[in-house]
Amino acid sequence: MHSLDITKDESPDSPDEEALNDLRNTYIAMDDFWAHPSNLEDEDSSDEDFVPSLHLRNVGAKTDKLPEISVDEAVFDFVVAAPPVEESDSESVSDQQRVTTEEHLVGKCANITYNDNLLLLARHLKLPLKNCKHVDRLSGVPCPGVPPFQVTLKPRGTGAVLEWLCPFGHSQWKWNSQPTLKFGMQGGDFMLSTNILLSGNNYRKVALLFKFMAMGMVTESAYYRIQDAYCIEPVQEFWDNIRAEVLERMRQKDHIVVLGDGRMDSPGHCAQYCTYTTIEQDSRDILHIVTVDKRDTSRNSVIMEKECFIRTMDALLPNVKIKEVVTDAHPQITALLNPERGRYKAWGLQHSLDIWHAAKSLSKRLRKAGAVKGQNPIQDWARDIVNHFWYCSKQASTEEEFKSMWVGVMHHVRNEHFWATGCCQHEPLEEGSQDKPWMEQGSAAHRALAAIVFEKRWLNLVRKFLNFRTTSDLESFQNHILLYAAKRMSYTPFVYKTRTLLAAIDYNMHNRRVPALNKDGHKMYKKSYNKKSKNWAVYTIKEKKEYKYIPDLQKAILGRRLKSGTGLPRKTTLRPEDPRRLGLLSSAEPSPPTSELIQRRVTRGVYDLKPLEN
């Protein structure tokens, strides 16, 4: 059996991140809080999904001199650069820029301009007019007004309109601070609405920022109509093109390993959407992403992840040669991948479980057993037992090898290091070096530990641990989705799907960034501190994201508006496949009129809770 006492080797001054952060060069660490049984009294037993915190410690990295990585750098990862100054020829007074192609807006620089400064500039301008150009339609007499003309400014959305009036109130010229599209929509209003979505922002937060700056803002209804009418289909088409390129590369491989995991849009059983993402093991490219609405599963949120997995596999299996599927221990998905009775038994898929989730499941059962009176010694050994499972999964290549190493923990905790079928693989222990009490043969703690170690269901899963797979990259991507679709915000079905696709596009387009180099040509590193594990980790700083694909998305969205031939729709419409056509999320009856609800509230004050009759 491998040594249960983990020692750290010294690392070089310039750490190799791939070696230090490699899953096979790590060991499991638990919070010190759970090492003391007395602390279990403070546990919130109402949380059924609670598990003790497990952390991966990488062995021996010198990180004391590295700068720390911040949350903003980890999530947003972009640099604001000064835009280039473009020279443009002056236009005649009568010309007003009209947007007819995508190049008139996409990539053009904009600025924050104050109205007082605009008026100051306009009042110093001299129009090339000697007198008022207005002519009375009835008498045919021209207006006698002469310069100087009065200048007025009227805010409009995110822009401003300047108008020159003669002394008699006749308009001489109007100038808009933004180019305009056909049917009068301002280009700045359109691009702001588009980029709020593309950047993963929220309209109301941006509107609040603009309010604090006393700036004009596109109206909320216009924003949602622009988003619904012009943004959803271009994003879907852009993702389809990216995914087609990824699948073409995957077809060149004989066999691929895919990692899959689901994500709910909100905590608990009140989720409305489930997003299931599949990543290829070697390239870390997202192969497929699917979103299911609760109404698609007859309002049963429990089977949403299963439905997502079925849609994913039905889409991938005919196109790529999948050899192995790595998931968490979701029982419904495990049943689908059963080699004898599962839905996909004919494909010969190998099912592996995420080793991280397996370690957390083991730690949860050990913690629960150690909380029972008379079984407290299990708490002292929990960290070492989980570590031993981690080691067995890394080293074993067959089920028999894993089991022969795994059962050794039952002997080691009794201070028995040689037995009939094997022995521990650690160095001889010095007298008094062990700081944990040994268990006694037949004690309550030893019997409870044996029930966990030799559990039939646990041993049947051994074959799914041997490849030592992890879905950690999926966990990272699902955290990245929060940038585009926060769990505390509500979205319509197609907008939520669009935001998850934007996260997938961002992830795939920046998946192959190379490490950033300093002026000496060496890799740059940063360190991050985990407060729970009290462990420092080292990360390679990668090149900043450039978001080169954003102009293409902007052109596609703007092109859809220019080709529409109509103005902005007055209301949003439901698409044929919109889940909202299936009815309300809950089984509640349709809501009564607002006036009736108000009247009911008033009648409650006189203790009359009966509905009003029509």
Contact (CB, 8 A) for 266 and 486: no
Task: Give the pLDDT confidence score for residue 609 in this predicted structure.
Answer: 45
Q: Would you list the DSSP string of 99-143?
A: --SGGGTTT-------HHHHHHHHHT---S-SS---B-TTT-PBP
Neighbours of 458 (CB within 10 A): 16
Does 250 lie in the same domain as 198? Answer: yes
Flag whether 612 is in a domain: no
Question: ∠ CA 567-572-575 to the nearest 5 degrees?
Answer: 115
Residues 318 and 233 in one domain: yes
190 and 167 together in one domain: no
pLDDT of residue 562: 93
Among 254, 199, 255, residue whose Cα is nearest residue 227: 199
Q: Return the top range by mean pLDDT from 86-90, 395-399, 420-424.
A: 395-399
- Are 166 and 205 part of one and the same domain? no
Taking 90 as the threshold, does the pLDDT of residue 538 lie above it? no
Residues 236 and 334 in one domain: yes
With both helix axes pointing from N to C terminus, report the angle between 493-509 and 232-250 in degrees, rounded to the nearest 10: 40
Q: What pLDDT shows up at residue 571?
A: 85
Provide the 10 A C-beta neighbour count for residue 280: 21
Q: Which residue has the tokens 């080293």?
A: 395
pLDDT score recorded for residue 590: 72
Indicate if 259 and 160 belong to the same structural domain: no
Residues 164 and 186 in one domain: no
The verdict on residue 454 lying in a domain is: no
Percentage of the chain surpassing pLDDT 90?
57
pLDDT of 71 = 44
Query: End of a domain among 153, 176, 199?
Result: 176
Q: How confident is the model at residue 274 (pLDDT cuts 50, 70, 90)?
A: very high
Query: In the structure, what pLDDT confidence band is assigned to residue 126 with cuts at 50, 70 and 90?
Result: confident
Residues 169 and 145 reside in one and the same domain:
yes
pLDDT band at 427, cuts 50/70/90?
Answer: confident
C-alpha 62, offset from chain centre: 31
Give me the percent of the chain exceeding a pLDDT of 70: 81
* Residue 282: per-residue pLDDT: 92
Bridge partners of 165, per DSSP, are 150, 171
Asked whether residue 46 is domain-assigned, the answer is no
Shared domain for 170 and 199, answered yes or no, is no
pLDDT band at residue 436 using 50, 70 and 90 as cut-offs: confident
Let me know: does 279 contact 508? Beta carbons within 8 Å.
no
Same domain for 240 and 335: yes
The better pLDDT of the pair 246, 601 is held by 246
Domain assignment present for residue 528? The answer is no
Structure confidence at residue 325 (pLDDT): 97
Reported in sequence order, the residue ranges of 496-608 that DSSP labels E, i.e. its strands, are 525-530, 535-540
């079928």: which residue's tokens?
421
Residues in contact with 513: Cβ distance below 8 Å, sequence separation at least 6, in sequence order: 542, 543, 545
Q: Residue 470's pLDDT is what?
A: 92
- Residue 461 and residue 389: Cα distance in Å, rounded? 13
- 157 neighbors 189 (Cβ within 8 angstroms): yes
Round to whole Å and give the CA distance between 345 and 349.
Answer: 7
| Inside any domain, residue 109 | no
Query: What Å distances lie between residue 233 and 199, 239, 315, 322, 556, CA to CA?
Result: 17, 10, 20, 29, 9
pLDDT digits (tens, 9 = 90+) for 318-362: 999 999 999 999 999 999 999 999 999 999 999 999 999 999 999
Q: Is residue 501 part of a domain?
A: yes
Does any domain span residue 192?
A: yes
Q: Report d(CA 214, CA 336) in Å as an integer.
A: 56
Helices (H), 21-89: 71-75
- In this predicted model, what pLDDT tens digit does every residue of 293-326 receive, in sequence order? 999 998 888 999 999 999 999 999 999 999 999 9
According to the model, what pLDDT value does residue 49 have?
A: 41
pLDDT score for 43? 42
Cβ atoms 442, 374 nearer than 8 A: no
Q: How confident is the model at residue 413 (pLDDT cuts 50, 70, 90)?
A: confident
Predicted confidence (pLDDT) at residue 431 exceeds the cutoff of 80 = no
> Which run of H or E residues covers position 381?
helix 377-395
The pLDDT value recorded for residue 58 is: 60
Q: How far is CA 329 from CA 256, 282, 326, 355, 387, in A?
A: 21, 22, 10, 10, 20
Are 571 and 484 part of one and the same domain? yes
> Which residue in 265, 314, 271, 308 sits closest to 289, CA to CA?
308
Task: Tell me: pLDDT of 176 over 90.
Answer: yes
Say what the pLDDT of residue 42 is.
44
pLDDT in tens, 180-225: 998 889 999 999 999 999 999 999 999 999 999 999 999 999 999 9
* Residues 172 and 204 grouped into a single domain: no
**Whether 154 contacts 161, CB under 8 Å:** yes
For the chain, what is the domain count?
A: 2
Domain carrying residue 159: 114-176
Last residue of a domain, one of 149, 176, 203: 176
With b for 16 or more beta-carbon neighbours within 10 A and e for fewer, the 30-66 pattern comes to bbeebeebeebeeeeeeeeeeebebbbbbeebebeeb
With beta carbons less than 8 A apart as the criterion, state whether 354 and 425 touch.
Answer: no
SS3 20: helix
User: Mean pLDDT for the chain?
Assistant: 84
Q: Residue range 281-292: average pLDDT? A: 95
Look at residues 124, 149, 176 and tell me which one is the last residue of a structural domain. Answer: 176
Whether 527 maps to a domain, the answer reads no
Strands, E, within 281-413: which ranges? 286-293, 322-327, 350-353
**Pairing assessment for the beta strands 322-327 and 256-264 based on DSSP bridges:** parallel
